[in-house]
Amino acid sequence: MSSSADRVTFRVLVYSDDSGTRREVITALGTTLHPDLPDLEFVEVATAPMLLKRLDDGVVDVAILDGEAAPAGGMGMARQVRDEYEPCPPLVVLIARQADRWLAGWSRADAVAGVPVDPMELSRTLVDLLR
């Protein structure tokens, strides 16, 4: 019989300068997305330097980046991460306006989700990326 310590987890980095946005993402996703996928463990970061440090540490399986983060927005950071990291984890950019979808495309993110966070939309997006 395996213990909970033996369970595989996906480490989800949540980048936002807004602790409320980080909390909203974590609450929306919970610890279990789908019975066929590993549990989720969250790594919260509020600054671009910490985002890059966590990526350098190799502790990220997927990253959710707040497009409205300041001073370094999630879309610009997504593009930088895509250019500088190989392999690059899947990237999800949170956008506040549908009009920003084109900019999210420019960022080369793998997926886009809206804020305020819709738990069903974000969960579906992550399940699709992690499968």
Output phi, psi for 97, to 5 deg.
-130, 140
The first and second tokens of residue 1, run together, are 């019989």
- Asked if 45 contacts 66 with a C-beta cutoff of 8 angstroms, the reply is no
Q: What is the pLDDT of residues 76-96, one digit of tens each?
A: 999 999 999 999 999 999 999
CA angle 77, 31, 49 (to 5 degrees): 25
Q: What is the pLDDT of residues 4-21, one digit of tens each?
A: 455 679 999 999 999 999
Q: Which pLDDT score, from 0 to 100, does residue 5 have?
A: 52
Q: What is the spatial distance between Cα 79 and Cα 106, in angstroms, rounded to a whole number?
A: 8
Q: What is the spatial distance between Cα 101 and Cα 4, in angstroms, rounded to a whole number?
A: 39
Q: Which pLDDT score, from 0 to 100, does residue 2 have?
A: 40
Of 118 and 59, more confident = 118
The first and second tokens of residue 117, run together, are 């966070």
Q: What's the whole-model pTM score?
A: 0.93
The yes-or-no verdict on residue 53 having pLDDT over 70 is: yes
Q: Which pLDDT score, from 0 to 100, does residue 3 have?
A: 43
Q: Name the DSSP letter for residue 89.
A: P
